[in-house]
Structure formats: C-alpha cells, structure tokens
Structure 1
Amino acid sequence: MRLKFPQFLMLMLMIGGLILGGCSTEKVASNTSPASTAASKATEASSNSTAEAAISQTSSESIPGMKDLPRLEGKANVVITVKGAPITIEVDGVNAPITAGNFVDLVQKGVYDGLVFHRVVRDPQPFVVQGGDPQSKDPKVPANRLGTGGYIDPKIGTERRIPLEIKPEGAEEPVYSQTIARKPLLTHKQGAVAMARSQLPDSASSQFYFALADLGFLDGSYAVFGYVTDGFDVVNQIHQGDRIDSAKITKGAQNLKSTK
C-alpha cells in the first residue's frame, strides 16, 4: 500500500525519534538521520554492495575493539519480567554474535534490572517499546534525559559501544559498521528485539526496543538480535515509565563468551 504524504511525514518522524532516542550523547549532523537514511536507500544500493562484500569478509580483529566485546556463540533465552509478567526472548548469536553477546552479557551483569521503558509509541500506529538506559534506574534523573545513556564498562571507564551488525540474506558473515540496502536475515517483524543507536552506526550500547508491528522500513538500518517467543501480550501492555523487574538468562548461558 502506498503511503500518502502525511503518513510518510509521520513515518519519518517516528524513525527520527528512534534514532534521536538512541544511546549516544554525541551531537551529529541532522542529515545522517534515519529519515534521510530511509529515503536514500534506493540510491545507496549500488554503492553499498561493493562495501558490504568487503566488510562482511573482514575479521573481527580488524574492527577496533570488537575482539574485546562479549560474543554469543549460539542462541540463548532471556526472560524479562515487567509488573510480574514474563517476556521470553530468543537471542540469536548465530546471526548477530556481537549484538546478542552484548545484550546477554548485560543481562548477566544485572544491568537491566530496575530500568525504565522510557519510550512507547503506539499512535498513530504501533511502533516500538524502548528501554535500557542505565540512567533510568535513578528516579531523580529528569525524563527528558532518558534515552541518552549507555552502559559504562568499568573495564574501560567509558561507555561500551558495539558496531552496527547486520547479516544479509545469503551471506556467511554479518556486515559491520554501516547500514545495508540488501534484505537482512533478521528482519523487523512483529516481536523483533533490536538495538537503538544514535546517528553514528557504531553507537549502540545498552538501549533496545521491541517492534510492536512489522517495521520493514527499519531493516538494514538497525541491528535485530532476537525475537519475543512468548509474552508479546505483555509487551503490548507496557506503558511509558514501566520498569523492568528483572532480566534473567534461562537457557544458553554457556554460549556467552566474555572477555576477562
């Protein structure tokens, strides 16, 4: 169905809100927003294809800092409890090892316990439920600051950031550090769990979101790393300001390979 112009504008605002609500506090040029990214995908396709092929064959050691990040070598189940009700996520480290490893590592560290879902968008159409800003554990932090924070890794003393990691269909390895024009293997279907970020591709840290509907226009721009397999009704009942009671690994913890 072709979007009418007002619907297109609303769509761009929703995408822009997602990127501005990402985990980085850095200021970046507005012309790199997801709205412009989505609008220019068609023109990027030919130029991206060569770069994708090169990056997808690049070893993790050639991307600065990646070898020091946690990896999930396989799959794991994580149960997030909100207002006493469980949400089960199958986390896919087969197709998104760095993104999945980062999430499972933060769950294991208890980072998500007590954090707020600071952004919930259901109108004019279902979009996302977003949380994971460590600042939200402190009720004194102003609401307008939520969505700007990430996980401060005590080993490095700064915010841990992970590269944008998207595996195209048919590829053997993910593409890193850039958006792609090809269809990804892990898509934004309803129930997808993906990382929020700022305009910079390699700026995701701890913030994540649930897709409340099929959001194919985000494919290739944000890293999906898993899907809700049970409890999507709970996700649909989350309101802005609701807190995560707890997040626990219930299966596949042995697949997490963390650096010491």
Structure 2
Amino acid sequence: MAVKKKNPRQPAPPRRNLIIAAIIVFTLLLAAATGYSTYRQEQQPESNAAAEKPNDKQADAGKADDKNTGNNKAAQSAGDLSKTKKDLVVIKTSLGDIEAEVYPELMPVTVTNFEKLAGSEFYNGLTFHRVEDWVVQGGDPEGDGSGGPGWTIKLETNPLLKNTRGAVAMARSEKPDTAGSQFYILKKDASWLDGDYAVFGRVVKGMEIVDRLKPGDKMQTVDIAKN
C-alpha cells in the first residue's frame, strides 16, 4: 500500500511577507501620529480664555479681524492725550459723581454713539448690572447683560487708549462689531483686552465712587459737556 506523502507547509511567498510588514509599519505610524495630535491639543491653551472678562454675554473677548482706528494722526504722533479734543461725561449716582473724558477725535464712531445715547437720556436710570473686583459694567436696558439700544457699531481701537485702571470702554459679545450701549469702567489694569475692545475715555474724577459701586446701583443721569 502506497503511503501518501504529507505536503510540507509552504513558506509564505515573499510578496505576502512584504504586504504584512507594510501593514504593521502603517499601523505603527498611524498610532504615533494620533498620539502626537492628542498631545498637541492637550498642550494648546483654551482659545479666548484671557478674554472671558469683561462680560459673560456682552464682553467675551474674541480676536478682531477688522479694526478701525481714530483719524487724528497728529494726536497719535504726539504720543499723549493732551493734544486731542476731549468731551466731559458726568455720571451721577447715589454715591456721588463719576467724571470721565471721552475722545471724539481719536474714537469718532464710539464717542458719537455714546453721546447720542446719553443725549437721548437712554442711560438715565439704568443699573451697573455687573460689578467685580476689576471691572464695573452698565448701560443695559434689560439689566442682565443681554440688552442694547437696538443697533450695533463697528469696532474701532486706538493705540493711545489702553485698558488701564479708569479706562472707559464698550462691552461687546464674542464678535467684534457688536457693541451697542453697554460700557465698562476698569478698576484694575487689563492689558489682555488691548486691541480687542473700544476704549474711548477714562475717569478723571470719582474713581473712589467706581470702587464702591455695588450690583444694581443706578446711573441717575449721564450728561455730556462738549468742549
């Protein structure tokens, strides 16, 4: 009886070995790339984290893609605010008066809007709805940070005007051109806001009043004295 020979196990063809090796290498490279991408995402800081002040709803910081600046080149080149036109804003409160300079030549769009609102008595009786250790904010007819005058204005900035203690600036949402009536006054320097918010004035008298404001304190009247 003839004995059938068992076929020996054939070695995998060379081409098959190459395919298997290529799959292994590709899998390793993919795993490495995925791990590196995850690492980069974990190391990257949260976007806009530094600008989640001045306002939860109306002043979240976002980078401005299109910014206007004031047109007074002579004042800019002079390097100080003594060379530019100033109007006086008087905010009367139950604690006393807050007086601020605003700069219509450096910030024409913003100051024109603010003075229009003040002249129409829009601000009279509105509250400072947000009071924190570094900022106070008011000018919202809703009283909760969500309201405005019914329109918005284009963001403008000026390199002479910084977010330092006493600065008066417009609050806005995460989009640049969304300021309307809400404004803030800084109790502390906030340089991370420079270039992204429209600083248009500064308090020249009454910062001790600003420091004492509490949530719900009212602007009894807001008056403009033009020079």
For residues 110-169 of structure 1, give each alpha carbon's deviation from its aligned partner in whole angstroms, at most 9, with x where no partner exists.
Answer: 0110001111111xxxx2100000123xxxxxxxxx101001xxxxxxx121101012xx
Report the Cα distance in structure 1 between the residues aligned to 2:58 and 2:119, rounded to whole angstroms. 22
TM-score (norm 1): 0.59
Preserved CA contact (<8 Å) 2:93 2:221: yes
Give the alignment of 1:15-34 within 5 angstroms.
15-22=51-58, 34=61
Residue from 206, 222, 225 that aligns with 2:181:
206
Higher relative contact order (CA 8 A, sep 6+): 1
Alpha carbons 2:54, 2:184 under 8 Å: kept:
no
Which runs of 5 or more residues in structure 1 are unaligned?
1-7, 24-32, 38-43, 59-72, 137-145, 152-158, 168-183, 253-260
Q: Distance in 2 between matches of 1:237 and 1:245?
A: 16
Partner residue, 2:146: 148
- Out of 232, 235, 246, the position equivalent to 2:207 is 232
User: Within 2, Cα distance between the matches of 1:114 and 1:134?
Assistant: 9
Is it true that 1:130 corresponds to 2:137 in the alignment? yes
Structure number with bigger Rg: 2
Gaps of 5+ in 2: 1-44, 72-83
> What is the letter of the counterpart of residue 165 of structure 1?
E
After superposition, residues 3-42 of structure 1 pair within 5 angstroms as 12=49, 15-22=51-58, 34=61, 37=63
Q: Deviations over 1:22-66 (max 9, x none)?
A: 17xxxxxxxxx52x74xxxxxx9xxx7xx77xx6699xxxxxxxx
**Which of residues 91, 101, 120 in structure 2 aligns to 1:80?**
91
CA positional deviation for 1:84: 4.8
CA distance in structure 2 between the partners assigned to 1:57 and 1:193 by the alignment: 16
Extract structure 1 runs of 4+ deviating beyond 2 A.
17-21, 55-58
**Equivalent residue for 2:123?**
112
Per the TM alignment, residue 17 of structure 1 is displaced from its structure 2 partner at its CA by: 4.4
TM-score, with structure 2 as normaliser: 0.67
Alignment RMSD: 2.8
Please tell me whether the aligned partners of residues 83 and 243 of structure 1 are also in contact (alpha carbons under 8 angstroms).
yes
What is the CA–CA distance in structure 1 between the aligned matches of 2:168 and 2:69, rounded to whole Å?
22
In terms of fraction of residues, the more strand-rich structure is: 1
Q: Secondary structure at the match of 1:101?
A: helix
Residue-by-residue CA offset, 1:79-128 (whole Å, 9 max, x unaligned) = 00111511001011111111011111111110110001111111xxxx21
Q: 1:100 aligns with which of 89, 93, 111?
A: 111
Identity, in percent, stands at: 39
SS of 1:203's partner is coil
Residue 56 and residue 115 in structure 1: after superposition, are their counterparts in 2 closer, same or farther (change >3 A)? closer
